Structures are given as structure tokens and as C-alpha cells.
Amino acid sequence: MSARPTKITRCRCLLLSAWCLASCGVGAHAQVEDVRPADTRFDLDLDGDACPDVLRVFTNKQTELGLMHAELCSDGEAREVSTAIMPMWFAQPAWLAGESGAPFVVVGTLSNQRRHDEPDPHRTVHVWSIQDGRWSAVWRGSALARPLIDVAIVRRDGVDLLVANERSGDRVVVTTYAWNGFGFIAAAPSD
């Protein structure tokens, strides 16, 4: 399922004013305070066409809402696409399948889908990419081994891995996950 791309040519998503949010098709329920200007910027080739693109991740750490905005370079012309505002507490590009081709974007999000003994909503991980010039959810987070606390991306032998702090009873377990093409498999649990 693809996220509907949102063109942000007039407001460039830098100020995120009320006019900008409205003109970009963001729902009326979103407030200007819900998303703060660029916490993170990545310069990389998001769509695998050997032309440098820009990924900006806008988040608000208190509300855990955010969006991803991409400035895509194609044949020398820039085109902009964004996700809708969504629950988001983490987003980082990752070469889960190795350094060939375009990266995925690993997104820490909130979910009400029950998998463990997590509270509602609880933290989970999704994987997004740019496909055919649009944001597309590649994987929408089936359960990791245990309830998720936090994640990081680490590189080992040219491949990015997901390292997760997970809750196991009253202790925290660190598990390393590898991408298997459609989801993550535990590569190195700590227990």
C-alpha cells in the first residue's frame, strides 16, 4: 500500500505554518505544534537513479508525530513528495539489503495492533521506501521478539542491522535483527 504523495512546492515544508499544513493536504486534526521543523536531514539517493536526493524527517518528540519529506532529483529537475503526518518517534535511512540500490527508511511508529503484552499504543517499526516517485510502506511491522522500547541502526559488513531494546518481564534485552526481504529475523539475541 502506498502513501499518497503530497506535493509541497509552495511551502517547502521548512516553516510548517498553518497555511503550509493546509495547502499540503494535512488533516485538520493536526496542529502546527504537532510537527517541528527539520530535526534531521539526509543527503542520499533515495530512489536508485544515481541522482542525489534529500530526505528530511520532521518530528515532535513530545507528541511523537512526524512526517518524511523527500526532494527527489530526476533528470535534473526536483520533485517533492511527503508522507502524511503519522505517529513517528524515529526515522533513519538504512541499507538493509546491502549498499547496492536505494536505501529503505526505518520508521519507529506507534501501533494499536496487539502482538505482545504491550500497552496501547505501543512502539513498533515500519520500513518505507520511494517507489515510482512515491512513498510506499514496504513493511508495516509484524512483531519483533518482544515489546519494543527503542531501536538503532548499526552497520556490519556493509549491511545495516536493526538493534532493538526490548522488554522481557522486568528487564531490557538487546536483540540484533537482520532484514530478510520482508521483515526482520533475530540475528543475535542477548539472552
Distance CA(151)–CA(13), nearest Å, equals 27
What would the DSSP string read from start to end of 159-179?
Answer: EEEEEEEEEETTEEEEEEEEE
Cα-flanking dihedrals φ and ψ of residue 153, to 5°?
A: -105, 125
Q: Is the residue at 9 inside a domain?
A: no
Q: Is the residue at 99 inside a domain?
A: yes
| List of residues 6+ apart from 34 with CB closer than 8 A | 60, 63, 65, 85
Q: Is the residue at 11 inside a domain?
A: no
Q: Is the residue at 100 inside a domain?
A: yes
Q: Is the residue at 120 inside a domain?
A: yes
Q: Is the residue at 7 inside a domain?
A: no
What are the tens digits of pLDDT across the range 78-135?
788 888 888 888 888 999 887 767 889 999 888 877 766 666 778 889 999 988 888 9
Q: Which domain holds residue 42?
A: 18-189
What are the tens digits of pLDDT across the range 23-66?
344 433 344 444 444 468 888 888 888 888 888 888 777 777 88
Residue 179's alpha-carbon distances to 17, 51, 56, 114, in angstroms, are 37, 25, 23, 22
Number of domains in the chain: 1
